[in-house]
Structure 1
Amino acid sequence: MKASIYKKVLLITFASLLVLTLLSFAVMYYQVNKAWGEFVPTVNSEQFRSEQGAYAILNASVLSQDGERMLANQTIIVRNGIIEALDEGLSVPEHVEVIDASGKFIIPGLIDAHVHLWQSPNDLLLYLANGVTHVRELNGSEEHLSWREDIAAGRPGPDLFVATRRHNTSTGFSALFDRWAAKINPVASTDNMSQHVASIQSAGYDAIKVYTLLDNDHFVALQDAAREANIQILGHIPFDLPLDQVWASDLKDLGHVEELVKALDREFGGYTRDDTEEFLQFVRDRSEAVAAELNNNDIAVVTTLALIESFSAQKLSVEDALSHVHAEYVNTGIAESLGDSFKVMGWLPESNIYRLPEDYPEDLIPGNQRYWNAYAEANQILLQAMVQQNVLILAGTDANVPIMVPGYSLHEELESLVAIGFTPAQALRSATTTTAQQMNIESGVIREGYQADLLILNANPLNNISHTKTIVEVISNGRRYTGEDIENMREAVRVANQG
C-alpha cells in the first residue's frame, strides 16, 4: 500500500513539474517573441496593393545617371516594372497613363544597406512610405525569405536582400540561448561548415553574416566554405581579426564604420574618457591608410552614423532622444522589450539598451559623454577620409536598433552624412547607386532597362538633402504609391502600434 501511494505521489509530482515546465516555456516563448515584435497587429497590406502597369511621367527634372545634376523636362516611360525609355520630349505611346510631374524632381528609390525587420512586418510599409524601395536585412530568417517572395509577387514593401543570422562562437547553454532568444547562429566547431553553408544557400539567403565574437578558426572555416560555395560574407569584424587580416580576407562588406573604429581602438590599446584627444589624433593619423586599404581591397562600408551619433544622447536622456524621432511608428513590442530582465533591443527608458544605470554616479557623466562623443567623432573622421578617397560607402541605419525608426532613419542618415562634409550628391549615391552596385541589382540609377524604383519629390535634394523627405509619390518595381497611399500606410502602422 505504501509503495502504491509513493508511486502516485511521484507521478503527481512529475506531472506537476512537467506542466509547470511547459507553462514556463510557453510564457518565455511568448515574452521573447513579443520583444522581437511578433504580436503587434499586422496591417492588411493588401489594401495598398498596386499593379505594375504602363505609364509616362512627363515634364520632370530627373537625377542624372552620375547623380550630380538634374536634367530638365524629361519623360520617363515605365512598363511592367521597367524603365522602357527616358529622354527629353519623348512621344508618349497610346493607351498609356500620363502623369504630369511639372515642377517635380525624380530620384532613384532609396536603399537602406543595414536594417533589422525582426518580427515586424508592418515595417515593410514604413519603408515604402518613406521612399525606401530596397533594404538589406542583416539578421535574416526564413520568415524574411518568405516576405521577400511575397514582395516579388506584389505585396507592398521594399525589395529584400536577406543575409543570415549573425554567426558567433558559443557553446553549451550560451549557444542554446543565442539560437533561441538572441537570433544568433552559434558556432562551436569547424566541422561540417560546408554542410552548414550549403543549407544556407539552399534556403535562399543572399549572404552570410559574421559577428563580433566569432573566433579566428571559425571565421576562416566559414569564409573558406562560403568562398567554395560562392556566397558572400559580410558583417562585423571579429575581435580576433586584426586589420591586416581583414584586408586579406573575403570580408568585403562591413556592417558599420564603427567596426573600423573598434579595430583602431584595439590597436590603440583601448581609449578611455581621459585620453579621448590622443585617440582621435591616432584615428586621424590612421584614417588615410585605412581608407586606402578599403579602396585597394574593394571593401564596402555601411555608415550607420546617425545611430552612433545618438549614443551619447541616449545615455544621458532616453526621453529627450526619443522626442526627436518618430517613435510612434516603432513596433511597440520591440520598443518595450522585456525591461531589465531581457532588454533585447528595447527603446523605452526602462528597457533602453544604451541608457546609463539610474545609480550611475553624477560626477562620472561628463566623462562618459566625452567618451561617446569621441566615439562618434572617430566614425566621422573615418567617413570623411573614405569619401575623399572614393571608398564604396553604403548608407545604412541599423533600423530598429534604438533610436532608428524604420524608413525615417535613412533620411536622418543622409542628413548626418551631409553634416560632416558629404555633398548631397555623394550622400544620395551612398543610398542609391553605390549600394545597388554592391547588391548587383539593376536599380539605384534612372536608366533605360533598369527597374522602375523612383521617388517623385516636391523639392530638389541636390540643393538640400532634407528634400528627400518631400515625397509626392513612390514607385517601387513599377508599382505606384500615391501621397494618399503613403499617409494611409503611416496611419495604419501607427494605429496598429496602439493595439
Structure 2
Amino acid sequence: MKIIYLLFCLIIFASLSCVQQTDENTYDLVIKNGTISYGNGRVENEYVHDIYIRDGKIEVIDPRDVGYYLFAHKTIDAQGLYVFPGFWDNHVHFRGGESHIAQNEKFLNRYLEYGVTTVRDAGGDLTPQVQSWNYEIENNTKKGPTIYTSGPKLDGEKSRWAGSLEVETKEQVSKALDSLQSLNVDYVKLYDSTISREMYLEIIKQAESRGMITSGHMPFTVKLDEAVNEGLNNIEHLYYVLKGCSSQENEITEKVISGELSFWGSMNALIETYDEETAQRTFSKLKENNVFVTPTLHIGEVLSHLDEQDHSNDTYLKELDAAFVQTYQGRINGALNASAKAKQDRKELQQFFNILALKLNEAGVSLLAGSDCGAYNSYIYPGSSLHEELAEMVKAGLTPAEALQTSGHNGSRFLKKDNFGIVVGNPADLVLLRANPLEDILNTKEIEMVIKGGKVVFEE
C-alpha cells in the first residue's frame, strides 16, 4: 500500500513539474496567505485564499492548496494581514471654486492613503475638474479613488452653493436634468436652501421617469412620505427622517410653509413629538421602498462641539492650504456666536441622531457611510473622516460588520454598481490591514497597504 501511495505522489509531483508558465496562467499580481473578508454582504465570514489579479481586475480567488499551476509577476505575502475591499465614502464634496482646485486635487491621493478607493461626490462647483480627474484615474494616468458624481446640485433661485442649477419651473427642471444627463452623472443631488416644495417633488418625479437615481436634502415644506412616494432614493442627513417620525409632521410642515417655524426652529418640536409608532411606520416605508439614508454622524458630532473643542493641533489640519482652512471659519464663527441654549440644543440633537441611526439599522433600512468632507465643513478631513464615521456608527450601536457594510456594500447597491467586493471580475481595489476591523472598528485605520486597480498605491 505504501508503494502505491509513493508512486501516486511521484506521478503528481512529476505532473506539477511539467506545468509551463504561459501568458494564460500568469497574472500581474497575487496576494497570498491573507485572511479575506469578501465584502459582499457576508463580511463576518473570513477565509484564507489567494487573489490573482490581471489588468486591474480580480481574475482568480484560489485556495492556497490548489494554486500550484498559477504564476504571477509580483507576489505580496499577506500572512498575518486582513484583506478587505477598498472603503467607500458615500458623501464627499469637491468644491470651493478655482482657487481651491489644487487642494481638492491633493485629496485624491489622501483618500487612497486612508484606504478609500471610491467616493460619491455629492455636488460642488468643480464638475469639469472632477470629471477630468476621474477620466485620468480610470485610464491609470492619475492616482485617486473612483469618483461617482452628481455634478451640480439642483436647488431654487439664489441657492446657497455656487455651481448649483437653479430651477423655478417644470421646464427648467427638464432642462436641468437634460444637462445632467449630458454630463453623464451618476445620480441627481437635490438641495434645500431655496427650492420650492413643488419643484423639489417635480425634480424627483421627472428624474424617476428618466431612470435617474436621486439623493438629497429635503425642504421642510415637504413631508417625508411625499418625497418617498415620488421616488426619492436616498436621504442625506437625519433631519428629514426625524421629521417623518413626528406625530405632528403635518402640523409642523404647515407652520414651516406659513413661516411660523424655521428649519432649525422646528428641531425641538420634532424631538418632543417623536413617536415610536409613527417612527416604525416611517422606517417600514423607507425599507419597503428601498430608500437609503446617509446619517453623517461624524460631522454632526464635530460641528456640535465646535464651541468647546480645539482642533488647532490636528495633524491633518497642518497639511492643508491656509486658504482652504479659512473656509472652515464660517461654521466655527456660527458655533462660537450661538446662544448657550442653541449650543446645548445642537448637542442634544446629535445624541438623538445617534439613537435614530441605530433604530433605522434595526428596522432594516439601508444606511450609507458618508463623511460630508470638503471645503466649508470644518475639520472633516478627506480620507480619515470616513473611518471616524464608521466609528460613530459603532458607537451608536451598530456592529463593526454592520458598519462596514454601510461603506462599499451599500454604496454600490445605492448606485446600482455591481462592482464591489472581492469577487472574480471586480476591480482589484483592496485594503490590507494589520488587525481585524470586525473585532474593533478602529482597526480600519491599521493600514499596511492599499491596492487600487491592481496596483499598489500606498504602502506603510
Place the TM-score, normalised by the shorter chain, in its bin.
0.7 to 0.9
**Partner of residue 7, structure 2:** none
Moved more, 190-199 or 154-163: 190-199
**Partner of residue 77, structure 1:** 52
**Partner of residue 214, structure 1:** 195
Q: Choose the corresponding residue for 2:223, options 223, 242, 248.
A: 242
Partners of 1:280 and 1:443 in 2: how far apart? 43
Indicate the SS of the match to 2:170: coil
Aligned length, in residue pairs: 407
Deviations 1:139-180 (A, max 9, x none): 14122111111111111000010103222211xxx36xx5xx
- Could you tell me how far 1:352 is from its partner in structure 2? 2.7
Partners of 2:331 and 2:347 in 1: how far apart? 22
- Mapping for residues 78-97 of structure 1, pairs under 5 Å: 78-89=53-64, 90-91=66-67, 93-97=70-74
Matched, 1:416 2:408: no
Partners of 2:267 and 2:206 in 1: how far apart? 42
**Partner of residue 389, structure 1:** 363
Letter in 2 for 1:145: Q
Letter in 2 for 1:185: L
8 A Cα contact 1:304 1:396, kept in partner:
yes
**Partner of residue 197, structure 1:** 177
**Partner of residue 372, structure 2:** 398
**Partner of residue 340, structure 1:** none
Superposed CA RMSD: 2.6
Partners of 2:217 and 2:267 in 1: how far apart? 26
Q: Choose the corresponding residue for 1:231, options 212, 215, 224.
A: 212
Matched, 1:308 2:300: yes
Partners of 1:243 and 1:233 in 2: how far apart? 14
Deviations 1:380-411 (A, max 9, x none): 12211111122111100101221210000000
Letter in 1 for 2:459: G
8 A Cα contact 2:112 2:450, kept in partner:
yes
Q: Percent identity?
A: 25
**Partner of residue 157, structure 1:** 144
- Could you tell me how far 1:476 is from its partner in structure 2? 1.4
8 A Cα contact 2:303 2:378, kept in partner:
no
**Partner of residue 368, structure 1:** 342
**Partner of residue 63, structure 1:** 37
Partners of 2:353 and 2:331 in 1: how far apart? 26
8 A Cα contact 1:273 1:370, kept in partner:
no
TM-score (structure 2 length as normaliser): 0.81
Deviations 1:107-161 (A, max 9, x none): 1100000000213111111111100000000114122111111111111000010
Q: Per the alignment, do residues 385 and 274 of structure 1 end up closer, same or farther by CA in structure 2, a change over 3 Å counting?
A: closer
Letter in 1 for 2:49: Q
Q: Choose the corresponding residue for 2:114, options 126, 130, 134.
A: 130
Partners of 2:58 and 2:444 in 1: how far apart? 21
8 A Cα contact 2:86 2:430, kept in partner:
yes
Letter in 2 for 1:261: L
Letter in 2 for 1:220: L
**Partner of residue 416, structure 2:** 440
Matched, 1:297 2:281: no
Q: Which runs of 5+ in 1 are unaligned?
A: 1-52, 337-345, 485-499
8 A Cα contact 1:61 1:71, kept in partner:
yes
Partners of 2:231 and 2:244 in 1: how far apart? 17
8 A Cα contact 1:261 1:378, kept in partner:
no
Partners of 1:419 and 1:404 in 2: how far apart? 18
- Could you tell me how far 1:462 is from its partner in structure 2? 0.6
Q: Choose the corresponding residue for 1:102, options 61, 76, 79.
A: 79
Q: Per the alignment, do residues 233 and 353 of structure 1 end up closer, same or farther by CA in structure 2, a change over 3 Å counting?
A: farther
Q: Which runs of 5+ in 2 are unaligned?
A: 1-26, 96-100, 253-260
**Partner of residue 317, structure 1:** 308
- Mapping for residues 314-353 of structure 1, pairs under 5 Å: 314=306, 316-317=307-308, 320-321=310-311, 323=313, 326-336=316-326, 346-348=327-329, 352=332
Partners of 1:456 and 1:408 in 2: how far apart? 16
Q: Per the alignment, do residues 436 and 481 of structure 1 end up closer, same or farther by CA in structure 2, a change over 3 Å counting?
A: same
Partners of 1:393 and 1:310 in 2: how far apart? 20
Q: Choose the corresponding residue for 1:279, options 246, 271, 280.
A: 271
Indicate the SS of the match to 1:379: helix
**Partner of residue 342, structure 1:** none
Q: Per the alignment, do residues 461 and 317 of structure 1 end up closer, same or farther by CA in structure 2, a change over 3 Å counting?
A: same
Partners of 1:145 and 1:202 in 2: how far apart? 12
Indicate the SS of the match to 1:198: helix
Q: Per the alignment, do residues 193 and 283 of structure 1 end up closer, same or farther by CA in structure 2, a change over 3 Å counting?
A: same
- Could you tell me how far 1:194 is from its partner in structure 2? 2.3
- Could you tell me how far 1:70 is from its partner in structure 2? 5.0
**Partner of residue 453, structure 1:** 429
Q: Per the alignment, do residues 68 and 193 of structure 1 end up closer, same or farther by CA in structure 2, a change over 3 Å counting?
A: closer
8 A Cα contact 2:304 2:346, kept in partner:
yes
Letter in 1 for 2:85: P
Partners of 1:183 and 1:192 in 2: how far apart? 16
